[in-house]
Amino acid sequence: MNERPTKTHPPSDRVRVKRYSWLADYDRKTVEDILDATPLCHVGCVMNGVPFVTPTFFWREGDRVYWHGSNAGRMFKVLADQDVCLTVSLLDGLVMARAAYNFNCNFRSVMIVGRAELITDKAIKTEKLRNFVNGLVPDQWERLRPITDKEIAVTALASLSIAEASCKVRTGPPIDDEEDYAFPAWAGVIPIRQQVMPPEPDPKNAPGVAMPEDVLRFHLGSV
Q: What pLDDT sits at residue 57?
A: 96
What stretches of the chain show up as alpha helix (H) in DSSP? 28-36, 74-78, 122-136, 140-143, 149-154, 213-220
Other CB atoms within 10 Å distance of the CB of residue 166: 23
DSSP characters for 135-164? HHSTTHHHHSPPPPHHHHHHEEEEEEESSS
Domains of the chain, residue spans: 13-191
CATH topology of domain 13-191: Pnp Oxidase; Chain A (2.30.110)
Q: What pLDDT sits at residue 104?
A: 96
pTM summary value? 0.90
Per residue in 113-156, pLDDT (tens digit) is: 999 999 999 999 999 999 999 999 999 999 999 999 999 999 99
- pLDDT tens series, the chain, 223 aa: 444 555 678 888 888 888 888 889 899 999 999 999 999 999 999 998 999 999 999 999 999 999 999 998 889 989 988 999 999 999 999 999 999 999 999 999 999 999 999 999 999 999 999 999 999 999 999 999 999 999 999 999 999 999 999 999 999 999 999 999 999 999 999 999 988 889 999 999 999 999 999 998 887 764 3
Residue 218: helix, strand or coil by DSSP? helix
- Burial class of residue 157 (count of CB atoms within 10 Å of its CB; 0-12, 13-18, 19+): buried
